[in-house]
Each structure stands twice: as C-alpha cells, then as structure tokens.
C-alpha cells in the first residue's frame, strides 16, 4: 500500500495512506470526519471513467494512516495536503473537500495560495466558521462541541452509532437511498480511527476559514444538501458561497450531510460538469 511520510512522532514515522489512480488532470478528494478516503466510493469510478487522475488519502489519525497523538489542527492538516501535492508533483489540480475536508482546502489556499490549483469544490463543507462569536452570531454555541467531545470520551462507539443516523438522515432515507450495511461500514471505518484523533478533530472544527476563503481566486463549486443536520446549510454552504465571488452554488433538495452516497448521481453530475469548465489560467 502506498504511503507518504509527513513527519515523525518520537521513534515512529507519521505516514499518510493514499491511492493514486488513472491518468489525466488530477483531482484530489479529501474526506470527512470520522471516515477515510474509502468514503468516495461512488465518485472514484465515475471520475476515472471520465478520464481524470484521482487521488484520495486518509487524514492523520483516520483510516489507514498513522495515528499520532498530536497535530489535529488545520495548519498541520493543510501542510500535509501540501506535502502530498508536492511529493506527487501535482499541478492544475482540482481539490474537492467533503465536510471537514473543506477546511483543508480553505486553509491550503490561505497558506499556499492557488499556484498549483485549477479549481476547488466544497461539498457539505465545514466552512466558513462554525463557532458562535461576537463577530459570528450565526454560529453554533461552543457548548455544543464540548458536549460532543464529552460524549465521544464517554462512549465513542455508541456516539458514532447515533452520529451516523443524522449523518445520512437514516430515519428518512434508510432502505431507500442508503442501506443498513453501508451505515455499518461507515461505523466500522470510524471505529478503527484513533480515539484521540476522533476527539481532537472536533476542536479543529472551530477554526475560522473566512480569511482563507477570501484568497480563493480559482473557479469554485459549493454543494450542500438542504436537509443537512450535521452542518446546516444556512451556517455553512450558503455563507461559503457568499464569501467567494462568482462561486457556483448548488443546493441539493432533501439531501443529508452524507450526500456523496445518498445523492451520488447528482453529486457526480455536478462534479463532472464543473470539471469540464475552464480552470484557473485557462484560455477564455
């Protein structure tokens, strides 16, 4: 299995598992919490068939990557994305970040700029700023995130079982757009993640991406479901689109947070159409 070494913790390397398939213009898919690159199962074959080179990777602490005890902040995570792009020598890249992965996209742009990028996509993204503060009154009270961390610490596996019900709106869509077995697979992947990472990533959700997003000068797609219970669209997708002038904003009716599975055909249609448009620096 391919790994990229991004650092060390005491005597051991910190290695990120990645997959690199196909040929053509590169598309890097960045997964959400508490899943892995395997969550792009319904996008990967479609993008490959359309002629793209598709790279997925597992964030530190999650999936098949190393599970260090530290580094669960967006400066570190974005730098690790930068190392992947650099070590694979990727240019004219499309970055697509789902949920927590949207933060890596935003912070990468904030730190590294858009020199390597052709375009970016935010899917059910955490951006622009979740935490309620005096200058962000529409955000979520910090006590909500403290409760999440307490519940994970108390019974991580039980918390994850409850979490995925709302992640996929399983009470409404189960047996129709998603099976018991796929929810179980999601739980299995999340259960194998580092317990430390599972909690510490929650703190990273509170980071502010508004200044990062202002530096986004490449074609941008924002996709969000209007039935997202995990990251409600009014606080996230709508505001992200407003912060990036000229961005393409697509609202998927009745879609939950985990819309890359439940509404995969619509997501794939939107992605393929967006990828077919000229990217940064393309001739007019």
Q: Which residues carry out catalysis?
A: 99, 228, 257
Cβ of 139: how many Cβ atoms within 10 Å?
18
Instruction: Mention every residue, 6+ apart, whose C-beta is less than 8 A from residue 229.
Output: 166, 167, 169, 256, 257
Q: Which two tokens mark 237?
A: 């997708």
Query: Would you say 24 and 53 are in contact if contact means Cβ atoms under 8 Å apart?
Result: yes
Nearest to 96 by CA among 281, 221, 270: 221
At 111, is the secondary structure helix, strand, or coil?
Answer: helix
Largest CA distance in the chain: 56
In eight-state DSSP terms, residue 39 is: G
Beta bridge mates, 136: 133
Spatial separation of the C-alpha atoms in residues 91 and 147, rounded to whole Å = 41
């Amino acid at each position: 299995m391919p790994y990229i070494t991004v650092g060390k913790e005491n005597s051991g390397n910190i290695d990120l598992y990645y997959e690199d398939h196909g040929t053509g213009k590169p598309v890097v898919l960045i997964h959400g919490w508490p899943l892995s690159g395997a969550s792009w199962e319904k996008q990967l074959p479609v993008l490959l068939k359309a002629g793209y080179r598709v790279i997925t990777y597992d964030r530190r602490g999650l999936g098949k990557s190393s599970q260090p005890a530290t580094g669960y902040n967006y400066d570190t995570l974005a730098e690790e994305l930068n190392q992947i792009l650099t070590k694979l020598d990727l240019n004219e890249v499309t970055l697509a970040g789902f949920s927590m992965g949207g933060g890596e996209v935003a912070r990468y742009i904030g730190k590294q700029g858009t020199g390597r990028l052709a375009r970016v996509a935010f899917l059910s993204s955490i951006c622009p700023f979740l935490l309620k503060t005096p200058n962000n009154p529409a955000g979520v009270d910090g006590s909500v995130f403290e409760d999440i961390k307490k519940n994970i610490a108390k019974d991580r596996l039980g918390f994850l079982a409850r979490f995925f019900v709302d992640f996929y709106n399983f009470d409404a869509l189960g047996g129709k757009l998603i099976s018991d077995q796929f929810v179980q697979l999601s739980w299995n992947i999340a259960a194998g993640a580092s317990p430390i990472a599972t909690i510490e990533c929650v703190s990273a959700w509170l980071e502010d991406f508004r200044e990062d997003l202002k530096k986004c000068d490449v074609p941008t797609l924002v996709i969000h479901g209007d039935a997202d219970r995990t990251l409600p669209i009014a606080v996230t997708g709508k505001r992200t689109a407003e912060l990036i002038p000229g961005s393409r904003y697509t609202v998927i009716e009745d879609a939950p947070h985990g819309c890359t599975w439940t509404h995969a055909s619509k997501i794939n249609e939107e992605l393929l159409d967006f990828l077919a448009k000229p990217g940064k620096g393309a001739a007019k």
